[in-house]
Chain A
Amino acid sequence: MSRQTDTRASVPNYPTRAFTRAQPQGFGRRALQHRSFVLGALLTTLLIAAALLSFAWTPGSAYEVDMDAALQASSSRHWLGTDAFGRDIASQILVGARASIAVGLIAVGIGLTLGVVLGLVAAARRGWVEEIIMRLADFTFAFPALLSAIMLTAVFGAGMINAIIAIGIFNIPTFARITRASANAIWARDYVLAARACGKSRSAITLQHVLPNIAAVLVVQATIQFALAILAEAALSYLGLGTQPPQPSWGRMLSEAQTLMFQAPLLAVWPGLAIALSVLGLNLLGDGLRDLLDPRLTRER
Chain B
Amino acid sequence: MSIFLLKRLLTLVATLIGASIVVFAVLEVLPGDAAQMLMGPDAEPEAVTAMAQQLGLDQPALTRYWQWIAGLLHGDMGESYVYGSPVTELVWERLAVTVPLAIMAMCITAVLAIAAGVFAAANHKRWGDVGLMGLAQIGIAIPNFWFAILLILLFSVKLQWFSAGGFPGWSEEAGGGFWPALQALLLPAIALAVVQAAILARITRSAVLEVLREDFVRTARAKGLSRGAALWRHVLRNAMIPVVTVMGLQFANLLAGTIVVENVFYLPGLGRLIFQSISNRDVIVVRNCVLLLAAMVVVVNFVVDVLYAAIDPRIKAGDI
Contacts and interface: CB of A to CB of B under 8 A. Distances in A.
Contact of A238 (B30, B137, B260): B260
Chain B: number of interface residues, binned into ranges: 35 or more
B260 A146 contact: yes
B108 interface: no
A196 B157 CA distance: 68
Interface in A120-177: 138-139, 141-147, 150-152, 154-157
A157 B279 CA distance: 10
Interface in B172-214: 206, 209
A254 interface: yes
Nearest to B251: A144
A138 B252 CA distance: 13
A144 B143 contact: no
Interface string A237-274: 01100000000000000100110011001001101100
A216 interface: no
A89 interface: no
Given A150-B274, A150-B278, A261-B149, A144 B255 contact: yes
Contacts of B137: 36, 280, 283-284
B153 A276 contact: no
A231 to B, nearest CB: 5
B145 A254 contact: yes
A155 B146 contact: no
Contact of B138 (A143, A146, A262, A280): A280
Interface string A257-301: 110011001001101100111011001100000000000000001
A152 B22 CA distance: 12
A235 B29 contact: no
Contacts of A145: 256
A141 B298 CA distance: 9
A268 B143 contact: no
Chain A: number of interface residues, binned into ranges: 35 or more
A36 B133 CA distance: 12
B145 A238 contact: yes
Contacts of B286: 151
A154 B252 contact: no
A159 B20 CA distance: 26
Nearest to A155: B30
Contacts of A254: 145-146, 149
A234 interface: yes
B259 to A, nearest CB: 6
B270 to A, nearest CB: 10
B67 interface: no
A222 interface: no
Contact of B263 (A36, A239, A268, A269): A239
B77 interface: no
Interface in B293-308: 293-294, 297-298
Contacts of B274: 147, 150
Contacts of B164: 261
B290 A275 contact: no
Given A227-B141, A262-B157, A279-B141, A268 B150 contact: yes
Given A146-B256, A155-B27, A275 B143 contact: yes
A143 B206 contact: no
A141 B264 CA distance: 25
Contact of B297 (A144, A155, A258, A265): A144
Interface of B: 15, 18-19, 22-23, 26-27, 29-31, 137-138, 140-143, 145-146, 149-150, 152-153, 157-158, 164, 206, 209, 252-253, 255-257, 259-260, 263-264, 274-275, 278-279, 286, 290, 293-294, 297-298
Closest 7 CB pairs of A and B: A144-B256, A272-B146, A280-B141, A279-B141, A154-B278, A146-B256, A144-B252
Given A150-B278, A155-B31, A239-B275, 8 more contacts: A151-B27, A155-B27, A227-B141, A231-B143, A261-B153, A265-B153, A271-B146, A272-B142
14 contacts: A138-B15, A139-B18, A142-B298, A143-B294, A151-B286, A258-B152, A261-B149, A265-B153, A265-B157, A272-B150, A276-B143, A279-B141, A279-B142, A280-B140
